[in-house]
Amino acid sequence: MAIKIDESDLGEALKDKQPSIPEEEEVGFHKGALNTLVNERNELIKMIQTVEAIMQAHLKRLEELGVKVQKEDDKK
């Protein structure tokens, strides 16, 4: 279940969810959060690339075995 946050005013959206903290600490918090999220996104991209490579290997082998595989776009 996704959390709905008003991106237009993040400070206001989080106001009720956390106690008031000094601006300097809040800046550090947001920088740290962005750093973590960038790293998580990069790991997801690596996972997707790995899955794609494995899928391509399976597709290639199926073609070598004479099995025709249709792409989703071709089915429509």
Is residue 35 in a domain? yes
Q: What tokens does 67 get? A: 């099995």
Residue 12 lies in a domain: no
Taking the whole predicted model, whether its pTM rises above 0.85 is answered as no
- Tell me which of 36 and 4 has the higher pLDDT: 36
Residue 17 in any domain: the answer is no
- Whether 36 maps to a domain, the answer reads yes
Residue 13: which of 30, 31, 1 has the closest Cα? 30
- Contact call for residues 69 and 59 (beta carbons, < 8 A): yes
38, 45 in Cβ contact below 8 A?
Answer: no
Into how many domains does the chain fold? 1
With a pLDDT cut of 70, the percent of the chain lying above it is 75
Instruction: Give tens-digit pLDDT for 6-37.
Output: 677 776 766 666 678 899 999 999 999 999 99
Is the confidence at residue 74, as pLDDT, over 70? Answer: no
Question: For the chain, how far is it from start to end, CA to CA, in angstroms?
Answer: 31
Residue carrying structure tokens 């199926």? 62
**What's the rounded Cα separation, in Å, for the pair 69 and 58?**
11
**Residue range of the domain that includes 56:** 23-64
